[in-house]
Amino acid sequence: MTPPHRHRRHSGASSALVRPDGRWRALPALFIIALVVAGVALIGTSLGTGPPVLPVVSGLSGLTGEVMRSASVPVRVAIAAIGVDAPVERVDVSGDGILQPPSLEEPKTVGWYRRGPTPGERGNAVLVGHVDTAATGPAVFYELGRLRPGDAITVTRQDGSAATFAVEAVRLFDKSAFPADLVYGPAPDARLELVTCGGSFDRRTANYLGNTVVTARFTG
């Protein structure tokens, strides 16, 4: 039976230790924050495991692309292959270091971690979104795992420019093995990391058991 909807973050969200200025304290903290993104999956629904995702899909390793020269906050993200055209809001960590995804009352909104790079800057720009909620069913990243290498992602920025990315890899990780260094660590070029929950849904704990992570590289 579907658990009752509550307007709170999923109990699987773990603490991510950060400094007062928002920087991660060390690599161990990257592992901890990785589990925080598990909280993006949220209160379960009768949808069960959600859409099927491949454990590993990778390719396009030769993509490069120049880095945009200026920072500009993302305001919208479009992923035509899965029918996403959604507003983006800034998200941050709470006082105890927990990354806060968009509210469950805004299941069609994507969150951008505001202390990281903006899309198009060198490094990993992180976007998080709900896979579903008990109240509304499928959410903004419900079909994230269906993306394939080469699929385009376009991020509209506050300055009116658009940063375009090509999907490089789609992976499903157990929450206990979330790749924090991949998602939050340094990158030699401009990349986009999109994260939501995935895998099987544990009705007893109202938790998804995995995370879907899409890595995309800036193409222009």
Q: What is the pLDDT of residue 101?
A: 83
Rg of the chain over Cα atoms, rounded to whole angstroms, equals 16
In a domain, 68, yes or no: yes
In a domain, 17, yes or no: no
Range of the domain at 140: 27-218
**pLDDT tens digits for 35-59?**
344 444 433 332 333 333 344 443 4
Give the tokens for residue 43: 């209160």
In a domain, 144, yes or no: yes
Distance of CA 21 to the CA centre of its chain: 22
In a domain, 10, yes or no: no
**pTM > 0.85:** no
**pLDDT tens digits for 119-161?**
999 999 999 999 999 898 999 999 999 999 999 999 999 999 9
CATH number, domain with residue 54: 2.40.260.10
Instruction: Give the rounded percent of residues in the chain with a pLDDT score beyond 90.
Output: 51
d(CA 164, CA 78): 10
Four-residue CA torsion sign, 117, 122, 123, 124: positive
In a domain, 21, yes or no: no
Question: Domain tally for the chain?
Answer: 1
In a domain, 188, yes or no: yes
Reference 220, options 31, 68, 53, 85; nearest CA is 68
Tell me the residue length of the chain: 220
In a domain, 131, yes or no: yes
Residue 174: Cβ-neighbour burial (10 angstroms; 0-12, 13-18, 19+) = exposed
| Biggest CA-to-CA distance, the chain | 51
In a domain, 72, yes or no: yes
